[in-house]
Amino acid sequence: MTASHDLAARALAVGYGERTVIDDLDLQVPGGKMTAIVGANACGKSTLLRAMSRLLKPQRGQVLLDGREVHSMRSKELARTLGLLPQSPLAPEGITVADLVGRGRHPHQKLMARWSRDDDKAVADALEATDTVALAERPIDELSGGQRQRVWIVMALAQDTDVLLLDEPTTFLDVAHQVEVLDLLTDLNRDRGTTIVMVLHDLNMAARYAHHLVAMVEGRIHASGTPADVLNAQTVRAVFGMDAVIIDDPTSGAPLMLPLGRHHVAEREH
Partner 1 sequence: MSAVISAPGSSVVVRRRSTRVRALWLVAAIVVLVGLACLSVAVGSRAVTWEEIGLGVTGHVDTIGQAAVYKRVPRTILAIVVGAALAVSGAVMQGVTRNPLADPGILGVTMGASLAVVTGIAWFGLFSVQGYIWTAIVGAGVTAVAVYAVGSLGRGGATPLKLALAGAATSAALTSLISAVVLPRGDIVEIVQSWQVGGVGGATYEPLATVAPFLVVGFVMSWGCSRWLNSMALGDEVAAGLGVKVAGARACAALGAVILAGAATAVAGPIAFVGLVVPHVCRLLVGVDHRWLIPFSAVVGACLVTTADVVGRLIAQPAEIQVGIVTAIVGAPVFIAIVRRTKVREL
247 binds partner 1 (CB under 8 A): no
> Do 166 and 185 contact (CB within 8 A), yes or no?
yes
| Residue 147 contact among partner 1, ligand ATP, Mg ion, none, beta carbon within 5 to 8 Å by kind | partner 1
Residue of 35, 46, 178, 195 that binds Mg ion (CB under 5 A): 46
Rg (CA), the chain: 19
- Reported in sequence order, the residue ranges of 157-266 that DSSP labels E, i.e. its strands, are 163-167, 195-199, 212-217, 220-225, 243-248, 255-260
Give the amino acid at 43. Answer: C
Residue of this chain nearest to Mg ion (CB atom)? 46
45 binds ligand ATP (CB under 6 A): yes
Size of the site for ligand ATP (CB under 6 A): 11
User: For residue 199, which of 47, 91, 3, 22 has the smallest C-alpha distance?
Assistant: 47
| Residue 81 contact among partner 1, ligand ATP, Mg ion, none, beta carbon within 5 to 8 Å by kind | none
Per-residue x/- marks for partner 1, 152-191, CB under 8 A? -------x--------------------------------
Residue of 112, 250, 262, 270 that binds partner 1 (CB under 8 A): 112
| Residue 43 contact among Mg ion, partner 1, ligand ATP, none, beta carbon within 5 to 8 Å by kind | ligand ATP
Residue of 25, 34, 38, 39 that binds ligand ATP (CB under 6 A): 39
Judged by CB under 6 A, the stretch of 43-51, 179-187, 239-247, 262-270 that binds ligand ATP is 43-51
Identify the bridge partners of residue 166 per DSSP, sorted by sequence position. 85, 198
Residue of 24, 137, 183, 229 that binds partner 1 (CB under 8 A): 137
Could you tell me how far CA 86 lies from the centroid of its own chain?
A: 8
Distance of alpha carbon 38 from alpha carbon 17, whole angstroms = 25
> Do 25 and 56 contact (CB within 8 A), yes or no?
no
User: For residue 222, which of 240, 199, 210 has the smallest C-alpha distance?
Assistant: 240
Q: Restricting to residues 52-91, which ones interact with ligand ATP according to CB under 6 A?
A: 87
44 binds ligand ATP (CB under 6 A): yes
Distance of alpha carbon 233 from alpha carbon 133, whole angstroms = 44
Query: Quick one: DSSP state of residue 72?
Result: G
> Do 22 and 47 contact (CB within 8 A), yes or no?
yes
Q: Which residues bind partner 1 (CB under 8 A)?
A: 50, 53-55, 75-80, 83-86, 88-96, 98-100, 102-104, 106-107, 109, 111-112, 120-121, 123-124, 127-128, 131-137, 146-147, 159
